[in-house]
Amino acid sequence: MKLILNEEQQMLRDSAKDFAEQKTPVSHFRGLRDNKDPLNWDKEIWKEMVDLGWSGILIPEEFGGSDFGLAGISVIMQEVGKTLTPSPLFATAVLGASAITSFGTQDQKSKYLPLIASGEITTAIAVDEESHHAPANTITKAELVNDKWILNGKKKFVVDGASADVLIILARTSGAKGENTGLTLFILDANAKGVEVIKTDMADCRNYANIVLNNVAVDKTAILGDQESGGEAVDKILDEGRIALASEMLGNSEAAFEMTINYLKERKQFGVHIGTFQALQHRAAEMFCEIELTKSAVMAAMQGADENNNDLQRMASLAKSIAGETLYLVSNESVQMHGGIGVTDEYDIGFFMKRARVAEVIFGGANFHQERYANLSNF
Amino acid sequence: MEQLESFRKEVKTWLEENCPPSMRSGSEADANSVTDEVWGGRNAVYKNPDSKIWLDKMGAKGWTMPTVPKEYGGGGLSREETKVLNEELFAIGAKQALLSFGIWMLAPALLEYANEEQKRLHIPRIIKGEIRWCQGYSEPGSGSDLASLSTKAEDMGDHYLVNGQKVWTSYADKADWIFALVRTGPQEPKHSGISFLLIDMATEGVSTKPITLISGKSPFCETFFDNVKVPKENLVGEENAGWTIAKALLQHERNFISNFGLAGVSAAGGGGNDVVSLAKKHFGEENGKIANSIFRSDVTTHKMKEHAFGLTLKRAGDEGGKASAVASMFKYYGTEHNKKRHEMMIAAMGSHGIAWDGDEFDEDEKNLTKAWLRTKGNSIEGGTSEVQLNVISKRVLGLPS
């Protein structure tokens, strides 16, 4: 496996870079935030992304996608991450598409995938119920009553949960809290009877919700993947998501770092550019090294996933953990090196720090993934 | 392709006939022979006679520097052929025929900067291991600020008269010749008054004295020049233009040191006798895990960084040639990481990790203590970590001076 982009991936990156720079610079995000946009993303922008084919990158050609793979969507995530572009790309084009492509029945694929590819629906996956990511701690219950599955429970921190048309819900069909067995995925309409969506405002001003399921009744055909195998399925779906998210976080780091380096070159104090100070130069050089390591971890994880290597879990944890630690470092140092303006709302750099902390919590922070990596490596 | 395959066959046959069994790692003959590093030179020591045979054979083929043109004694191989040769050497576990600063540093610089006569004289002797070289750069007053060096070479008409002192000269006490930076233009700005001079250490007035390090070993020396007469034809490049050569050569040195001691660091993130197995042995295991959870956590973050660093080395290779400044990143990160790795290994071993001598400790334990201390020099020699960070911030990030 080569740790470089192929021609196709390079083209996707170039196109995403142009798009992000021209259509969605950070001012686009700022505008949505300032206007208290109820969706937190822009429908016109999403339509343009769909027209570029981004919503179908993980979807097979027979269902209207391009099947360009995880590396393809990840390089796009990296570029839009550089400008903090909010969109349904992650929850729909990565998580939703991956879940249904990998685990859907032929009927489910025919029903949902063309609509995702064409941008007619967006999706969200609801996994967590506590403050920390822990799929095995699911207690949302699904019981079979008269040929219908009845779902009850409350899901938290659902990415794009406040806007999604279709929800993928992890629920317990047997066993007890803490067990990774006995879990099952269900796919259902967000406006199904008994689904209550409570929008949550987070520090990064993106679209999230807590979702209450109150005697939601669905047919047996709503099961996604095998009954009782939801724990393993969600692991694979989220690993793909973690790699794509790590790529977005890499983009966040790269952009914050570039803004900071530019600032060090133009800001003067004591009659000289502050970039001449060795105390800042060395910290900048160390950040450069960490970003280089992150690029390699993300590259290896995404290319490995597309080549179906059997180390997906460990590589996803490596990518998410390293990307998270690097972004933590870079976002903090960037604010510090900007001095006073770094803590003003007027300046963009603070957005990167807020996004950094939220992205860190999504589907497991560095601690979660270090523990997982250690267990998988037999440390 | 066909040509490469026939070359591969040729190499296989030649290796089969010429690589002595005890020069193949893991072979039975190897297990029964003395381990021995071969550095060549006038006073070469061959603890295992086979190592001399192996060096002579490889030297005659020019395969100790396979890509160097044949007229300079090299193998004259293409990049692809060199890759084939390396693969076949690896396949039989062939030991390195020759360790040499001449190969790693001087010969590449001579190829680029020396005149025809110098190339024809010196490069073949490096390739055959006939002359062992050492590097005369640092001085007592010139460490990181190398260009401030003051060993002077006065123009005496037909020769230079060299006076001064070098320090940190690796294996100077065992070397035959030294490539040295000397000041020929005392009135010039500091970078513009330096020349690159080749000096036979058998010349009258050259003397060396080993320096004992904290590890108890003495890989470095002080080297003294007391009215040493050096023929003019030993000047490489123009007079006062030695700094350019010095920088090119430092690059080769950095590339070399960044790979130093990183055995076990791979793109797969694995390692043999590494900190995990040491920790399990000395802390014990609980349910297959390192029993001390705090140490396990430190090990994990360390190993994950190592994994990502290994992938970065691989990525740089996949991307093809890299700018010199990136070598600074590898030198900085590689040596710092290697220091941390050794710190973690001795910490994992507790009282067995700081053993010095005697029969109560095994050889690996005692060697590890010395190896740990040796790593402290890796982030100093060849440009300190701080100098590497300067290079990154100025040349990669473009921060102002």
- Across the interface, whether the CB atoms of A374 and B333 are under 8 A apart is answered no
Mean pLDDT confidence for A63-84 = 98
Chain B residues with CB under 8 Å of A378 CB are: 276, 288
Gap from B376 CA to chain A (nearest CA, Å):
19
Window 289-318 of A, Cβ < 8 Å to B = 289, 292-297, 299-300, 318
Residue A229 DSSP SS3: strand
DSSP calls for A18-38: HHHHHT--HHHHHHHHHTT-S
For chain B, give the mean pLDDT. Answer: 91
The CA-atom distances, in angstroms, between A20 and each of A9, A28, A347 are 16, 10, 19
Res B271 pLDDT > 60: no
DSSP 8-state symbol, A237 = H
The string of pLDDT tens digits covering residues A308-344 is 888 999 999 999 999 999 999 999 999 999 999 999 9
Q: Please, what are the domains in chain A?
A: 7-122 (1.10.540.10), 124-228 (2.40.110.10), 232-376 (1.20.140.10)
Res B1 pLDDT > 80: no
The string of pLDDT tens digits covering residues A1-26 is 899 999 999 999 999 999 999 999 99
Q: What's the rounded Cα separation, in Å, for the pair A225 and A185?
A: 7
Residue A371 contacts B where some CB pair is shorter than 8 Å: yes
Q: What's the rounded Cα separation, in Å, for the pair A294 and A318?
A: 9
Gap from B304 CA to chain A (nearest CA, Å):
7
Whole-number pLDDT of residue B248: 86
Residue A234 contacts B where some CB pair is shorter than 8 Å: no
Higher pLDDT, A21 or B83: A21
Confidence of residue B273 (pLDDT cuts 50, 70, 90): low
- Across the interface, whether the CB atoms of B303 and A264 are under 8 A apart is answered no
Chain B residues with CB under 8 Å of A316 CB are: none
Chain A residues with CB under 8 Å of B397 CB are: 261, 281, 284-285, 288
The string of pLDDT tens digits covering residues B63-82 is 999 999 999 999 999 989 99
Confidence of residue B348 (pLDDT cuts 50, 70, 90): very high
- Across the interface, whether the CB atoms of A294 and B308 are under 8 A apart is answered yes
Confidence of residue B391 (pLDDT cuts 50, 70, 90): very high
Gap from B186 CA to chain A (nearest CA, Å):
30
Whole-number pLDDT of residue B256: 65
Chain B residues with CB under 8 Å of A2 CB are: 318
Instruction: Provide the sign of the torsion angle of the four alpha carbons A19, A25, A31, A36, taken in this order.
Output: positive
Residues forming beta bridges with residue B123, ordered by sequence position: none
The string of pLDDT tens digits covering residues A176-191 is 999 999 999 999 999 9
Whether A216 and A194 have beta carbons less than 8 Å apart is answered as yes
Whether B206 and B225 have beta carbons less than 8 Å apart is answered as yes
Across the interface, which of B308, B394, B400 has its CB nearest the CB of A273?
A: B400
Across the interface, which of A276, A286, A293 has its CB nearest the CB of B308?
A: A293
Q: What does the block give as tokens for B145? A: 């600020």
Gap from B179 CA to chain A (nearest CA, Å):
32
Confidence of residue B322 (pLDDT cuts 50, 70, 90): low
Mean pLDDT confidence for B162-181 = 96
Chain B interface, best mutation among A1, A2, A3, by max B CB count within 10 A: A3
Whether B99 and B162 have beta carbons less than 8 Å apart is answered as no
Chain B residues with CB under 8 Å of A375 CB are: 289
The CA-atom distances, in angstroms, between A77 and each of A13, A31, A86, A197, B216 are 9, 20, 10, 26, 53
Confidence of residue B259 (pLDDT cuts 50, 70, 90): low
Output B265-270 pairs: Cβ under 8 A, ≥24 positions apart: B265/B306, B265/B309, B265/B310, B265/B313, B265/B337, B266/B310, B267/A300, B267/B310, B267/B311, B267/B313, B267/B314, B268/B307, B268/B310, B269/A318, B269/A377, B269/B303, B269/B304, B269/B306, B269/B307, B269/B310, B269/B311
Across the interface, which of B296, B329, B390 has its CB nearest the CB of A292?
A: B329
Chain A interface, best mutation among B274, B298, B393, B394, by max A CB count within 10 A: B393
Confidence of residue A284 (pLDDT cuts 50, 70, 90): very high
For chain A, give the mean pLDDT. Answer: 97
- Across the interface, whether the CB atoms of A293 and B309 are under 8 A apart is answered yes
Percent of the residues in chain B that have a pLDDT greater than 70, as a whole number: 94
Mean pLDDT confidence for B26-32 = 77
CA B361 from centre of chain: 30
Higher pLDDT, A23 or B253: A23
The CA-atom distances, in angstroms, between A372 and each of A138, A376, B36, B239, B280 are 18, 6, 42, 60, 18
Q: Please, what are the domains in chain B?
A: 2-98 (1.10.540), 133-240 (2.40.110.10), 259-396 (1.20.140.10)
Q: What's the rounded Cα separation, in Å, for the pair B331 and B257?
A: 7
Chain B residues with CB under 8 Å of A286 CB are: 389
Burial code (b: 16+ CB inside 10 Å, e: under 16) for B298-329 equals bbbbbbbbbbbbbbbbbbbeeeeeeeebbbbb
Confidence of residue A371 (pLDDT cuts 50, 70, 90): very high
